[in-house]
Amino acid sequence: MSEHDISELEKSLGYSFSNKDVLIEALTHRSFYHEHSDKVDNYNERLEFLGDSVLGLAIVEYLFLYEGKLTESIMAKTKSYLVKESVLSDIASSVSLGKYLRLGKGEEATGGRKKRSLLADAVEAVLGAVYIDGGYHTAKELIRRLFKDKIDTIMSSGEFHDFKTALQEKTQLLFGSIPEYIMIKQEGEEHKKIFTVEVHISGEKFGTGVGKSKKEAETFAAREALNKLQR
């Protein structure tokens, strides 16, 4: 990695490493290590394992201190949502992490820089690297900056709750069928699309959802349908 690349990523993260080598290790995928084992000492899986624990603790601490004194159940569901692959890969994209990864030729050729699993692992590795380089307080502050919008959004929307599963279970019980999600429209530019989805049960519309992704729109539609069924 060039000094420019390192500096650019540090700027995106809002943190400057004292030991640049630990950041480089966090960005080194196993595939790169195997192709350059004569020149590369480590790859990022140990840091990923460490970062997973640091992330979990920081998220739980944030939720514990969140206004309104969340219940253990809500904290558990929210934490589970925040540390899943899709959310972590979104965090990676927000700082363009894929651009800086060191990948082997095979991973590079198969679109490794955009693979959700690889990006999610890299986020955890970088958080592990920040913990090693700057300590828990520094890592915690970075996690709070990166995840604050996600936390605030799901706390207001209830997205941490699996409304789609809950709706499917209820409709199977009441109607003996499963919900059908229908895309109504997509609006906006490619990177800022807004999706509108309807959920139908036994041919009847029970809810409509609008979101920044198809999944988010389906979640809101399922929540509306559940509310209708409960009424």
Task: Give the residue numbers marked as catalytic.
Answer: 52, 124
Q: What kind and span of H or E run contains 225?
A: helix 214-230
Q: What is the DSSP letter of 98?
A: G
- Rounded to an integer, what distance in angstroms lies between the CA atom of residue 29 and that of residue 42? 9
